[in-house]
A and B are shown apart, each in its own frame.
Chain A
Amino acid sequence: MIAALRSGVAGGRLSGLLLVALPVALLIWLVLWPVLQAIVGTVYFPGTGFSTASYAYFFTDAYSLRNLWLTLWVTALTSVLRVAVAMPIALYLRFRSGPVAALVQALALFPMFVPSVLVAYAFIRVLGPNGIVDTILVALHLPKLASPYLTPAGPIIGLVWDGLPLTLLLLLSGLGRVSIASVDAARDLGAGSFTLFTRIILPRIQSSIIVTLAFNVLGLFSAFTLPFLLGPASPEMMGPYMQRTFSDNADPLNATTQAVITFAFCAAFGLIYVRAIAKGRKAPA
């Protein structure tokens, strides 16, 4: 879109607009319109007028707030863990090549092709009670693992693994902007690995990290399968909670209210993402 507008020629502008017309129309029809419907549907009731009672209920209901709080901290912790785990792999892949690097890359990207239901069941077989890890520990005469299955740690471990490939790819594309020459120059001047990372690499990939975090937050906020299969019954993450409110309690009003609140948080992170992109565009490439 930006490229087409930048061309400055009237014909190019028109064809650019035509090119984006379809996705924009889809966005309005499938995303913005339902969002608007949801917001209006939770505050305006034909016949009785405006009421924000369902929002007041959500923000005074300790149970709902606990679920929201759990979602926030699981999202924050998982996003940070994903970047922390993916960063060393990304650095390794950026500055090394050869068969070992290719193998590392293949292994790190593998979770992308595994559906999360399979991740959940594999997790139970490996890290669950009397799973493979326990079998190995017992064979070595070590105490059994305190299994993370059905604890808050369960979904976090599952989600970190599941989201590793996307995080890695985003960080790798950011690291592509760090020239090997500047790294070599800093090394020649006597910079250690830590200095190199904090003074040369980190400033160049700051916006990539923000983009990565924003992407992760958006995905994690609506995570359903892994929190549902691996996590505790309560507190629930917003995904399972919304589903349960909607279908088991047959309560579309409160379910929609939960969805709008979740959307508001995601929209805030979406804004951070858009700003990071815009900043990246302005900065000389």
Chain B
Amino acid sequence: MNRREFLMASAAASLAASTRFAAAATKLDLYTSSDANISDFFSNVVKPAFEAANPGVELNVVIARPAAALDAVVQRALAALASKSDPQLDVIEQYEPMLPAGGIEAGLWTDFQKAGLANYGAVNKLAIQTAYGLPYRGSQVLIAYDSTKLPKDKAPKTFADLVAWIKANPGQFIYNRPDKGGSGGNFINRVVHEVSGRDPQKFKVDNFNQATADEVLAKAWAVLNDIAPSLYEKGAYTSGNSASLQLLAQGAVTMIPAWSDQVLQAIAKGVLPETTGLVQLTDLALCGGFSQAVVPTNAAHRAEALKFADFMLSEEMQTAVIEKLGGFPGVDWSTLPQALHDKYADVIPSSIPTFPSGEWTKAVQDGWYRNVAPNISRT
């Protein structure tokens, strides 16, 4: 390409770019702080489909990791609400609508029950925790194991079985640091549930209390320190969800806690072998949850944001959540094709306990670093 051709080509390109900007008059800012499999799903699956269905709207996927980065964005939106300015935020793919404190009272989040979404009626009633969050996908932590080393009928079904198995098979179990991915975090939360009477309802986003926390968490640390010497390398903890999956794939360990969507995706891609077994505890399942999308009431493109929320509940997107993401649908299974229902019968959960974000999670995570992580003996 000579200079003249280059100049002509760049002039043509800039002309094309300017007309494209003219066409895409509306840029919808979608924020996410989820793992790369989720942000990839939005960039590669949702974005093209939504833009094809809504000409003139561009979906701008903004990755705001870690979660605390998103907290700052939400604080900005709350401040913008008070000063009646543009929050520069239209949708968050997943956020706890109970946060920030006072947000709902101030009228920050859109009430989806009153938003008039055509597909809202199809939403799974079990998944709705609040009208201010739209549950459009779910996933849950379960136990993944190598069925060539552990036969399916010997896999632990209760927490007591799991602890017994870990101790009987030293070096074969590992979970990741709680703040670096929820699979390890929810394993720890399951321990917290175990020592507090297996009642997830005891922990709510607004009922944190230091005295209760000290008492309950001390018991949880005792259980975790008890199993620590039986973990991989006598108490090593991986740096994230994927690092645990990698150790399982390399055959270095036999069992890990893993997110259902990530492990199903890994099996589908051949990263984990077909012989990977999955089991959920039956006395109380490991935590999981439905991801709740939120739309600020002061969003500059609120109408398009609600159109987007409705689009996420469409059969096309809900099927994509199951097939492309390995997640659970946010809508009721009965509203989806029967063939899909039959194919995924094994992973359809009967219950999904949750653990609140905010103060409780902070106490669990920092407490774990101070009380469990250092107790490692390499001798």
Interface string of B148-192 (1 = CB under 8 A from A): 000000000000000000000000000001010000000000000
In the complex, whether B373 has a CB less than 8 A from a CB of chain A is: yes
A228 contacts across to B, CB distance below 8 A: 239
> Which of B19-27, B129-137, B344-352, B364-372 contacts its partner?
B364-372
Residue of B at shortest CB range from A152?
B378
Residue of A at shortest CB range from B66?
A247
- Rounded to whole angstroms, the CA-CA distance of A106 and B259 in the bound complex is 43
- Rounded to whole angstroms, the CA-CA distance of A130 and B246 in the bound complex is 11
Are A130 and B252 closer than 8 Å at their CB atoms?
Answer: yes
In the complex, whether B233 has a CB less than 8 A from a CB of chain A is: yes
- Rounded to whole angstroms, the CA-CA distance of A66 and B376 in the bound complex is 14
In the complex, whether A68 has a CB less than 8 A from a CB of chain B is: no
Partner of A150, one of B68, B179, B238: B238
Are A131 and B239 closer than 8 Å at their CB atoms?
Answer: no
Residue of B at shortest CB range from A243?
B66
B66 contacts across to A, CB distance below 8 A: 247-248
Residue of B at shortest CB range from A128?
B250
**Most chain B beta-carbon contacts within 10 A, residue among A124, A229, A234, A249:** A234
A128 contacts across to B, CB distance below 8 A: 250, 252
A:210-244 near B, CB below 8 Å: 228-229, 232-236, 244
Are A233 and B365 closer than 8 Å at their CB atoms?
Answer: no
How many chain B residues sit at the interface, stated as a range, is 20 to 34
Partner of B233, one of A130, A131, A151, A246: A151
Are B68 and A130 closer than 8 Å at their CB atoms?
Answer: no
Are B251 and A66 closer than 8 Å at their CB atoms?
Answer: no
A:74-130 near B, CB below 8 Å: 124, 128-130
A147 contacts across to B, CB distance below 8 A: 233
Residue of B at shortest CB range from A130?
B250
Are A129 and B374 closer than 8 Å at their CB atoms?
Answer: no
In the complex, whether B243 has a CB less than 8 A from a CB of chain A is: yes
In the complex, whether A44 has a CB less than 8 A from a CB of chain B is: no
Are A151 and B236 closer than 8 Å at their CB atoms?
Answer: yes
A244 contacts across to B, CB distance below 8 A: 179, 369
Interface string of B232-255 (1 = CB under 8 A from A): 110011110001001100111000
Are A233 and B250 closer than 8 Å at their CB atoms?
Answer: no
If the complex has contacts A228-B239, A248-B66, A248-B68, are A233 and B362 also in contact, measured as CB distance less than 8 A?
no
Residue of A at shortest CB range from B238?
A150
In the complex, whether A250 has a CB less than 8 A from a CB of chain B is: yes
Are A129 and B376 closer than 8 Å at their CB atoms?
Answer: no
B243 contacts across to A, CB distance below 8 A: 124, 229
Interface string of A175-209 (1 = CB under 8 A from B): 00000000000000000000000000000000000
Are B247 and A233 closer than 8 Å at their CB atoms?
Answer: no
Are A233 and B177 closer than 8 Å at their CB atoms?
Answer: yes
B233 contacts across to A, CB distance below 8 A: 147, 150-151
In the complex, whether A63 has a CB less than 8 A from a CB of chain B is: yes
Residue of B at shortest CB range from A124?
B246
A246 contacts across to B, CB distance below 8 A: 68
In the complex, whether B69 has a CB less than 8 A from a CB of chain A is: yes
**Most chain B beta-carbon contacts within 10 A, residue among A129, A130, A235:** A129
Are A229 and B366 closer than 8 Å at their CB atoms?
Answer: no
Partner of B362, one of A129, A150, A234, A248: A248
Are B252 and A129 closer than 8 Å at their CB atoms?
Answer: yes
In the complex, whether B304 has a CB less than 8 A from a CB of chain A is: no
What's the nearest-Cβ distance from chain A to residue B170, in Å? 14
In the complex, whether B71 has a CB less than 8 A from a CB of chain A is: yes
Are B236 and A233 closer than 8 Å at their CB atoms?
Answer: yes
If the complex has contacts A150-B233, A248-B362, are A233 and B373 also in contact, measured as CB distance less than 8 A?
yes
A129 contacts across to B, CB distance below 8 A: 247, 250, 252
Are B370 and A63 closer than 8 Å at their CB atoms?
Answer: yes
Are B252 and A248 closer than 8 Å at their CB atoms?
Answer: no
- Rounded to whole angstroms, the CA-CA distance of A119 and B250 in the bound complex is 18
Are B376 and A232 closer than 8 Å at their CB atoms?
Answer: yes
- Rounded to whole angstroms, the CA-CA distance of A257 and B17 in the bound complex is 47
Residue of B at shortest CB range from A231?
B239
- Rounded to whole angstroms, the CA-CA distance of A247 and B369 in the bound complex is 15
A:127-162 near B, CB below 8 Å: 128-131, 147, 150-151
Are B69 and A247 closer than 8 Å at their CB atoms?
Answer: yes
**Most chain B beta-carbon contacts within 10 A, residue among A63, A124, A229, A248:** A248
Are A248 and B365 closer than 8 Å at their CB atoms?
Answer: yes
- Rounded to whole angstroms, the CA-CA distance of A247 and B89 in the bound complex is 20
**Most chain A beta-carbon contacts within 10 A, residue among B232, B247, B365:** B247
Are B236 and A150 closer than 8 Å at their CB atoms?
Answer: yes
B179 contacts across to A, CB distance below 8 A: 244, 248
- Rounded to whole angstroms, the CA-CA distance of A147 and B236 in the bound complex is 12
B:203-219 near A, CB below 8 Å: none
**Most chain B beta-carbon contacts within 10 A, residue among A124, A151, A233, A235:** A233
Are B374 and A66 closer than 8 Å at their CB atoms?
Answer: yes
Residue of B at shortest CB range from A154?
B236
A233 contacts across to B, CB distance below 8 A: 177, 236-237, 239, 369, 373
Residue of B at shortest CB range from A64?
B370
- Rounded to whole angstroms, the CA-CA distance of A233 and B185 in the bound complex is 13
- Rounded to whole angstroms, the CA-CA distance of A233 and B376 in the bound complex is 10
- Rounded to whole angstroms, the CA-CA distance of A151 and B365 in the bound complex is 21
What are 29 A-B contacts with C-beta separation under 8 Å?
A63-B369, A63-B370, A63-B374, A128-B250, A128-B252, A129-B252, A130-B251, A130-B252, A150-B232, A150-B233, A150-B236, A150-B237, A150-B238, A151-B233, A151-B236, A151-B378, A229-B239, A233-B177, A233-B237, A233-B239, A244-B369, A246-B68, A247-B69, A248-B66, A248-B68, A248-B362, A249-B365, A249-B366, A250-B362
The 8 closest A-B pairs by CB, nearest first: A234-B373, A129-B252, A247-B68, A150-B236, A233-B237, A233-B373, A248-B179, A234-B374
Extra contacts besides A233-B373, A247-B69 (7): CB < 8 Å: A128-B252, A130-B251, A130-B252, A147-B233, A150-B232, A233-B177, A233-B237
